[in-house]
Structure 1
Amino acid sequence: MVISFMAVWAQAAELKSPDGSFHLSFEVKDGVPVYKLDLNDQPVVLESRLGFELKDAENLLDGFKLTKVDESSYDQSWEPVWGEVKEIRNHYNELAVTLEQEKTGRIMMVRFRLFNDGLGFRYEFPQQDNLTYFVITDEKTQFAMAGDHTAYWIPGDYDTQEYDYTTSKLSEIRGLMDQAVTPNASQTPFSDTGVQTALMMKTDEGLYINLHEAALIEYSCMHLDLDDKNMVFESHLTPDAVGNMVYMQAPRTTPWRTVIASKNAGDILLSHITLNLNEPCVYEDVSWIKPVKYIGVWWEMITGKSSWAYTNLPSVKLGETDYSTVEPNDNHAANTAHVKEYIDFAARHGFDQVLVEGWNIGWEDWFGKSKDYVFDFLTPYPDFDVVELREYAKSKDVKLMMHHETSSSVRNYERHMDEAYQFMVDNNYNSVKSGYVGDIIPRGEYHYGQWMVNHYLYALKKAADYKIMINAHEAVRPTGVARTYPNLIGNESARGTEYEAFGGSNPDHTTILPFTRLIGGPMDYTPGIFEPDVSKYNPNNNSHVNTTIARQLALYVTMYSPLQMAADLPETYNKHLEAFQFIKDVPVDWDDTKVLEAEPGDFITYARKEKGTGNWFVGRTNDEEVRVSEISFDFLEPGKKYVATIYGDQKNAHYKTNPKAYEIRKYLVTSKSDLKQRCAPGGGYAISLLEVKDKSETKGLKKL
């Protein structure tokens, strides 16, 4: 139902969520558009301004009058191609306000959608004579907070999100920024109080608030800059090489700005606002898009045990360096014999694919060199036989996963893209891990600017032409775009497991990421590290993975992704096959998801139901404190029995001193069962709950 008010005498409008819990107020106050949001009479966003600064044109900040108000409601459900649940309800009330700037006659609309778990709003610029081509130099959208909230944040940066999270009051961000900005291959912090979305906060009254954006298409990535005197966030867009933020041509819309709020932390994790604000899937045929569980020739290079490069040459050039005449080094991992070992392991344990990095020429001198013509994504090193490995993988019913490190030479990647994707099709690759390490070429552009956002989407659409799935690393953080383009089966865009080999991440890192980075979409976090002492692989690397083995198993449930890697080495898994069984069993696609316990920075416990079965899996990730998890199995189907295999920390387990101390216990459980489980510092637990099909499966099992 749509109700249109053609004549607007008042300069204000209101909207409530379908369940009446959220209340949105909009007003044009002295020519300035403002909004505010409450949840059950508790302020979420205080009165906040809307608008833009433009280049060489009158700003879109004030001088407005409200000329039209449209209200409507929507309530339909849809099924994702892959996801955390089988079906998603898209239920909201909508308020669309049309504003006219009296001095210029220009029209700007703001569309608000109020869900039962929060708000999404965007700007819209209809076709008009007075505003066609324009350049945004600053978006002035505000989010005024009602107090000095506790925030879980990373520094605002145009090029990276690969930071550990800091937990502090909003007023403390400025004083902590210097220590929060740690080194990265490409980074551009922009403010002493700038932070990135998705930003998670908690008020003193126990209200959880999350700020993010949805449907980032043909626009610049939004950060938040804090006025820490007034506790007001203002949107801060990533500029281009000449300092402009966004180039617009009407008719156009901006991405949605999102505010998710609840008194229950788990509701933030279960919100589907980000996906619902994206357009439906554009592909008629999605049969080629499938969740993937994989292993890879990767961790041994990250730890320094092996090398991506075939030689030790200080300089190479494509088309000029004759690799057949060069003496290879002795630790190049992507060689035919070694990759076959990974293929054998994948086939033996039921993995879909094997990722191979460092297979193609050019790895010797690309890092930090700002070279334009680095890789051709086609030519293998002499010790990597493409055809032999293709046929060997086929014989084992395993696929190889392609790797395209672009070195952030984006023009070079685009010039080779069609040939590279066709090469993948010809050699039985259907997914690619792409990387954008280093400063962007063309020089001066940033990873999160409009130019690069357009490139990431171009690569995604081009891959679909070849029925290829993409897992993009160092790309812009996801904003639910995978609903529209579900061949985007993974992103990095945060500090992943690789940093555990570069000095480690804070133990609470994985208790925060689901509240922040994962709000926009799944992450290729690459869990499954069973050897926390990195020096066992590389004596020159004294890094330590800050986790217990039990928590590494839990991450397959708590860090949702349709793309999951068992990241450690096969020889290490062979030493812990009982624990490895959980990685083999856990699925990567789900029919249902429950949050059993959650507190950002402390712990998260998820339960997920396997797609198409009655089996459930539980995962708990814990911070640096000893905690006791108490859960009920009331999510199980009443009247049915399940074999629960619990992979937990031993009493003396500790992420630093005793990370490998785990125990495995089996019980018979029903929907009436309960569990108390001790979680070690940096630990957690994982549980497989397999539906009993035969009485013989319960023999000797005690009831929990």
Structure 2
Amino acid sequence: TETKTEWYLEVRIFEDGVGMRYRIPGAGARRVEGEATAWVLPKDAPIWLQNDTRNYEGIYYRSSLEALYASDDVEKRWLGAPATVEPVDGIWMLITEACLYRYSGMTLHVEEPTRLRVGFQDDPEGWEMQGEILTPWRVTLVAADLNGLVNADLIQSLGEAPDPVLFPDGMATEWIRPGKGLITWAVFGNDGAQWWRQKWFVDMCAAMNCEYLLLDGGWRSEQWGFLRDGGDLWARLTELCQYGAERNVGIFVWSAYPEGRDDGPGLTDPAERRAFLDRCKAAGVKGVKIDFFDSESRDTIEVYEAFLRETAQRRLMVNFHGANKPTGETRTWPHEITREGIREQEYLLWGDLPLEHYGALPFTRMVAGHGDFLPGYVRPQYLKNTTSVFQLATAVIFTSPFICWPDHPEAYLESPFLPLVRTMPSVWDETRVLPGSELGGLVAMARRSGHDWFVAVINCRPVPAEFDLRLDFLGDGSYRAMLIRDVGEDDKTENLVESGRPVDASTTWALQLSSGGGLVARMGPPTSYTE
């Protein structure tokens, strides 16, 4: 369309894809009412997607644009990125956005049977902007295989470098410390916020080698027991932080963003937000979890950025829940330690997750960035259609620099998995998607931390699977392995733990995996191997 408006198209091309964005110079107030950017896909190209564009907690499934366009359910024509397109002519493709700041979040609309167009569901009438208009990057990742897709770093590469004043050592800045933690909510509900439980939770964290305790929903409300017996909110929080520091356990605290909830006041007022963060810092808190944004409107995106800036100024890590998709924020704001924006395992508290969803996430949503998945239930009532070994494997496959273990602490301490729970890294030096993995089906990954390799396999097919696990990624030298696998067909908690098994790059394990079953192994050089 002919226009007299001056505008520029910026394009950056990488080995793993392309990013493009629009720059429109100018001054004063102008209104953004939409965008014409679109992707045209081959007819019948299979695409993996989810339809929740509110907080990105939809179930991923396989379809095609043609089928979505023909559906009587018009809501199916709206997709929440990222969406992954199966190979056409041998190339995998993933569609999403990067550097979402001071703009409305991109949703994808099936406009024609082969055409996906950019839309803005949370700002359907548009929004006003001052001065230059700069869109987020519209991203197309390409890869020859699933390993290339998972290891693509284009989304983060498009981001701006972190502020050297706030983050003098970038992601290695001293106060940004990934780790594992227990969570007072999950299987306890808001009852977990009762004051008498908190030091016990810290003691459990220390026993499990967890660096953090997340004091979750309910602690800021009188009805859930944190203030029972006349305690002062901030005095008790300070006491808890001091108790944790003596045991090398840092404290994260939760708050809702919106007002009007029964589990504590919100933070919609900027002055109240800054006062809350100041008091957290003064009490000795290490990070905050902010919940229930449930939007990626332009106004809400500016609130995310305000939280990122103001927590960084106070050296507090941040975890966003009830959130939108990640768009590479961790490049610019490396203290964002995790975020939700994913249908994760809190849903096991009241329902289940389709196996296909587990099998899709590593190659769809998780490609975009970390996800607070709540991996690793161990008690039977929460396993649903998975085994306990499958659950442990999710801690390796679904990455988060802040791993929150969701089950009862005593269940972990009594579990044969405890050695792996205590030594599980939360960040990795290298990742390999192993041959035989398939989107929505069987997933096999090897991840390296230092000299140690962790291998996880989950069978997300509806039927049993045979899988030859080759350890050729180990390279030269010998290793000792701890191996955990399912052994029972009827008992989802029955497993076999083998320790000290010699392995090397020539080793192949022939696996028989039940539907919803899995395997986990940790391998290290003999000189550093521990039980």
Q: TM-score, normalised by structure 1?
A: 0.69
**Paired AA for residue 642 in structure 1:** Y
Quote how far apart the aligned CAs of 1:574 are. Answer: 3.0
- Cα offsets for 1:481-505 (capped at 9, x unmatched): 1110001111001111111112111
Q: 1:664 to 1:174 in 2, by over 3 A?
A: farther
| Structure 2 residue 254 is the aligned partner of structure 1 residue 403 | yes
For 1:678 and 1:144, locate their aligned partners in 2 and report how far apart those are by CA, in whole Å: 41
Counterpart in the other structure of 2:181: 294
Q: Is the 8 A contact 1:617 1:687 kept in 2?
A: yes
For 2:322 and 2:72, locate their aligned partners in 1 and report how far apart those are by CA, in whole Å: 22
Counterpart in the other structure of 1:494: 342
Quote how far apart the aligned CAs of 1:606 are. Answer: 1.6
Q: 1:134 to 1:169 in 2, by over 3 A?
A: same
Counterpart in the other structure of 1:375: none
Q: Secondary structure at the match of 1:257?
A: strand
The structure carrying a bigger helix percent of its residues is: 2
For 2:377 and 2:205, locate their aligned partners in 1 and report how far apart those are by CA, in whole Å: 16
Q: Is the 8 A contact 2:9 2:22 kept in 1?
A: yes
Q: Is the 8 A contact 1:532 1:546 kept in 2?
A: no
Match of 2:50 among 154, 163, 173: 154
Q: 1:260 to 1:400 in 2, by over 3 A?
A: same
Counterpart in the other structure of 1:458: 306
For 1:121 and 1:204, locate their aligned partners in 2 and report how far apart those are by CA, in whole Å: 22
- Cα offsets for 1:334-377 (capped at 9, x unmatched): 22331222111111221101112245343769xxxxxxxxxxxx
Match of 2:36 among 140, 143, 156: 140
Quote how far apart the aligned CAs of 1:479 are. Answer: 0.4
| Structure 2 residue 70 is the aligned partner of structure 1 residue 236 | no
Counterpart in the other structure of 1:645: 482
Counterpart in the other structure of 1:676: 510
Q: How does 1:39-438 map to 2 (within 5 A)?
A: 62-63=1-2, 101=3, 104=4, 106-126=5-25, 128=26, 132-157=28-53, 159-174=54-69, 178=73, 191-203=75-87, 205-229=89-113, 231-240=114-123, 243-282=124-163, 283-285=166-168, 286-302=173-189, 308=190, 332-362=191-221, 380=227, 382=230, 385-407=236-258, 412=268, 414-436=270-292
Counterpart in the other structure of 2:263: none
Q: How does 1:440-519 map to 2 (within 5 A)?
A: 447-519=295-367
| Structure 2 residue 374 is the aligned partner of structure 1 residue 526 | yes
Higher relative contact order (CA 8 A, sep 6+): 2
Q: Is the 8 A contact 2:61 2:356 kept in 1?
A: no
| Structure 2 residue 470 is the aligned partner of structure 1 residue 632 | yes
| Higher radius of gyration, 1 or 2 | 1
- Cα offsets for 1:285-338 (capped at 9, x unmatched): 321111021012112234xxxxx2xxxxxxxxxxxxxxxxxxxxxxx3322331
**Paired AA for residue 112 in structure 1:** V
**Paired AA for residue 585 in structure 1:** T
Q: Is the 8 A contact 1:528 1:565 kept in 2?
A: no
Q: Is the 8 A contact 1:213 1:258 kept in 2?
A: yes
Q: 1:697 to 1:524 in 2, by over 3 A?
A: closer
Match of 1:601 among 432, 435, 440: 440
| Structure 2 residue 407 is the aligned partner of structure 1 residue 563 | no
Q: Secondary structure at the match of 1:645?
A: strand
For 1:175 and 1:107, locate their aligned partners in 2 and report how far apart those are by CA, in whole Å: 38
Quote how far apart the aligned CAs of 1:119 are. Answer: 1.3
For 1:150 and 1:408, locate their aligned partners in 2 and report how far apart those are by CA, in whole Å: 41
Q: Secondary structure at the match of 1:490?
A: strand
Q: Is the 8 A contact 1:648 1:664 kept in 2?
A: yes
Q: Secondary structure at the match of 2:34?
A: strand
Counterpart in the other structure of 2:458: 621
Counterpart in the other structure of 1:588: 426
**Paired AA for residue 79 in structure 2:** V
Quote how far apart the aligned CAs of 1:177 are. Answer: 7.5
For 2:216 and 2:90, locate their aligned partners in 1 and report how far apart those are by CA, in whole Å: 45
Q: Is the 8 A contact 2:258 2:267 kept in 1?
A: no
For 1:390 and 1:217, locate their aligned partners in 2 and report how far apart those are by CA, in whole Å: 33
Q: Is the 8 A contact 1:629 1:676 kept in 2?
A: yes
Quote how far apart the aligned CAs of 1:391 are. Answer: 2.8
Q: 1:411 to 1:398 in 2, by over 3 A?
A: closer
Q: 1:683 to 1:450 in 2, by over 3 A?
A: same
RMSD: 2.4
Quote how far apart the aligned CAs of 1:204 are. Answer: 5.7
Q: TM-score, normalised by structure 2?
A: 0.90
For 1:166 and 1:686, locate their aligned partners in 2 and report how far apart those are by CA, in whole Å: 26
Q: 1:413 to 1:399 in 2, by over 3 A?
A: farther
Quote how far apart the aligned CAs of 1:464 are. Answer: 0.7
Match of 1:660 among 471, 493, 502: 493
**Paired AA for residue 628 in structure 1:** E
For 1:216 and 1:401, locate their aligned partners in 2 and report how far apart those are by CA, in whole Å: 26
Greater shift, 139-148 or 406-415, is seen at 406-415
Match of 1:552 among 372, 391, 406: 391
- Cα offsets for 1:525-559 (capped at 9, x unmatched): 1111011415xxxxxxxxx6332111111112110
Q: 1:697 to 1:489 in 2, by over 3 A?
A: closer
Q: Is the 8 A contact 2:443 2:457 kept in 1?
A: yes
Q: 1:627 to 1:457 in 2, by over 3 A?
A: same
Q: Is the 8 A contact 1:622 1:682 kept in 2?
A: yes
**Paired AA for residue 118 in structure 2:** S
Counterpart in the other structure of 2:417: 579
Quote how far apart the aligned CAs of 1:256 are. Answer: 0.5
For 2:18 and 2:202, locate their aligned partners in 1 and report how far apart those are by CA, in whole Å: 47
- Cα offsets for 1:507-534 (capped at 9, x unmatched): 1222211222222210111111011415
Q: Is the 8 A contact 2:355 2:516 kept in 1?
A: yes
Q: What count of residue pairs does the alignment treat as equivalent?
A: 512
The percentage of counterpart residues that share the same residue type is 23
Q: Is the 8 A contact 1:177 1:193 kept in 2?
A: no
Which residues of structure 2 form unaligned runs of 5+? Answer: 261-265
**Paired AA for residue 400 in structure 1:** I
For 2:410 and 2:242, locate their aligned partners in 1 and report how far apart those are by CA, in whole Å: 24
For 1:167 and 1:361, locate their aligned partners in 2 and report how far apart those are by CA, in whole Å: 42
**Paired AA for residue 288 in structure 1:** W
For 1:391 and 1:124, locate their aligned partners in 2 and report how far apart those are by CA, in whole Å: 49
Q: 1:496 to 1:335 in 2, by over 3 A?
A: same
Q: Secondary structure at the match of 2:39?
A: strand
Quote how far apart the aligned CAs of 1:455 are. Answer: 0.3
Q: Secondary structure at the match of 1:508?
A: helix
Q: 1:565 to 1:360 in 2, by over 3 A?
A: closer
**Paired AA for residue 627 in structure 1:** A
- Cα offsets for 1:419-476 (capped at 9, x unmatched): 2112222222111111116xxxxxxxx6111100110110111001110000100122
